Chains A and B, each alone.
Chain A
């Protein structure tokens, strides 16, 4: 219970600190530094308006700088150095990278990550689109949507447990308690399979977990986009005699193309960072390694900060096209 007390105290100190920082710094600006009265009132008001945004922004900029911007550069630096026993660092050039590129486990992680990048966003978006289109047409669609959306609230670890039960295998002479094996045996399979240990295919059994979680996200966003389509276009197509499939693929999908792209890239980023599912279900064994888990392995099991940082930089490199694209879109919107 000591920690609970500490938590309450932190909330109070954190919130109190924030509030008093904002309040007092504004007070200081208005009443002491730039008083909006006296001979220089006009100049002081202008000056206060110049300073105030930065007072509002300072805590956020500070936190963003320390917790996100600085680590990018520090990780880059660490990936180019080696830790010397007994403390201190030594410039290592690209040796961490070359060492990593020579590891088969790294290329296994790369290959699997590419598979994840293709399968998960595609499958989630496709299922999401299907669910969005279908649920929008029926009266109980709202309930259906929230049930398909529900896995979103479940942690990756929780999902890993849920799906491990599905993939569970028992010896042939016992009743199967994993659904997949029960179906497999019922359909005439000869012996229960350990699905998570079958190289290559086990990747897809892991991906299934993320698809299951992300479909709801895709569905919610695409369903809003589908509802935003002007009705006239659909009506015109019906008048012209289009069938429901033509309406969907020729009229609706082209109009929500940008939203599909946004959903796709969002899921892509989640995929690149996927860690918990692999860590909890196979821990990268049986050729299921992915980059994020490879990195965690290097950092905290092999204790090799150089290669760990190098693999983190690879993840950053893979994310950066999306980063640039997002920033450009945001700037276009601002104009």
Chain B
């Protein structure tokens, strides 16, 4: 995986209401506003307000981006079993596959890194709704898709006022969990 040349594709997938569209927006903004790359983010979801399949693709490139969706995914995050089963096929060979092991049975997904994002959010951040930001911290730590500093700046700038510290903590929880999962405990 190279982050400096050509096209880099990230797919965040799960269920409506898990906050993946917001996570995608944050990633896109970190990549373009702070890292200075070209970015396109697209989304796909059903007509339901909550539930139903939901995914967002973020394409980051130093060059012009014509095709706006992912075709050969470098990084796949799956926050539900259904999305893990469906989108694993889109992952390119050697790509990074991360699942929420609290919600996804990753026994059959041998290449996947399992981290219990939703459980970590409940236990260490106090609420399940931080799961998206915890996952974002882990995905960026594992993929280096954007600079950590850029991600933190974006999150602080974009989350509701008064929740900045809680969200920064959620990012850090994700980062730590990613380091533990790959044996790189700091």
Q: Do A and B come from one complex?
A: no
A contact residues vs B (CB 8 Å cutoff): none
B contact residues vs A (CB 8 Å cutoff): none
